Structure 1
């Protein structure tokens, strides 16, 4: 991740598979921005299709801890448990783009990575984890626990209408997010990724979703 290009504008990008290392980096940056100025907004750009349960929940808990306004923006992807990070933003300041792909699919019975993570845990602990996740979704959206439970077992993209009605997000941004190119060499990939998000951030400023500093 390249936080140096966005730190002065209080933008954090949640990208790729969210593991412990990435979550730790994201949380450190959120807390640093909050310490620098607890009155200014923090923008969280979400572009991820999943990650470790504990890593995602650590980011979620940090978002909920912050007293400053947190603006969440789903770019191309906010899938499975990552959709909870979108819903955790301040009400009225949770955005999706025209072609964002949002789903709640995180069924432990069929999600291999989730199963691997908690395979050694007791059934009671697994049930506690699932119940906490269901409750968090219910508390941050217009969905009741049983509706979340059903949606979590269906591997399908939610329509914009469904996303708004479920209160996973509040507003749609009138821009289309391109797919990110996958390049062979890490240096070129990092260079492209900087430019990719730089272009998106400029579009978000034009649409007055992100403040200009």
Structure 2
């Protein structure tokens, strides 16, 4: 299996889902240790409990935490498609903290980001390494950001567990090189860097600060605080999109019925 990760080997993560835990929670929080925060929402119809990741999904926030696997891709792709069906013109906010993972799983998420009509903003928190950096760069132009203490890393694909007949090994090697060329073209598309510079960076593990990633073209902005526009979007979503006479969203909680 071809992997693209910041460490050559990492232990397999078993994704568990208890009766009180949604599949989205299990995948987006693979090392949850059984502790998933619950949010109680008060409405005119009473109280409603959400796990924290399902509540974030209501705000059009999707999280990728930990290694990228087929399970991760399955849930993230479903979330992106669902949010597009809800409102194709409204942005989706993708938060990334990942060391990388299986290349084909990451490309499934990447292709879905490009496929849906909703613009996808990306934000690196912690790290976006290998396939994580591909997904970070895949965001809408001008909407790719990183927090100041995050790290971004790019490198060439890694292969593990390949064995068998000589021609089978040769076939796998050819496929890995094709995948390497494909990843170079993706970096080229989203960063604008020449293929020669990308090849040099991918030859070994290349770690970047947010400022270096911005210079390279993987992100557009280094931020320390949430942009005002995103705050307004969040408040507008919470208020059901209502606006006051000046066109601004109302203060959260104002004018709501209390149960």
Give the TM-score normalised by structure 1: 0.77
Structure having the larger proportion of residues in strand: 2
- State the secondary structure of the residue aligned to 1:102: strand
Where do 1:15-164 residues align within 5 Å? 15-105=65-155, 107-108=156-157, 114-116=158-160, 120=169, 121-164=171-214
- State the secondary structure of the residue aligned to 1:6: helix
CA–CA distance in structure 2, aligned partners of residues 91 and 118 of structure 1: 38
Structure having the larger proportion of residues in helix: 1
- State the secondary structure of the residue aligned to 2:207: coil
Where do 1:181-200 residues align within 5 Å? none
RMSD after superposition: 1.9
Structure 1: tracts of 5 or more residues without a match: 109-113, 176-203
* Number of matched pairs: 178
Structure 2: tracts of 5 or more residues without a match: 1-23, 26-52, 164-168, 238-259
Give the TM-score normalised by structure 2: 0.64
Moved over 2 A (4+): 117-124, 153-157, 207-211
CA–CA distance in structure 1, aligned partners of residues 194 and 161 of structure 2: 26
CA–CA distance in structure 2, aligned partners of residues 11 and 73 of structure 1: 11
C-alpha contact (below 8 Å) 1:83/1:168 kept by paired residues: yes
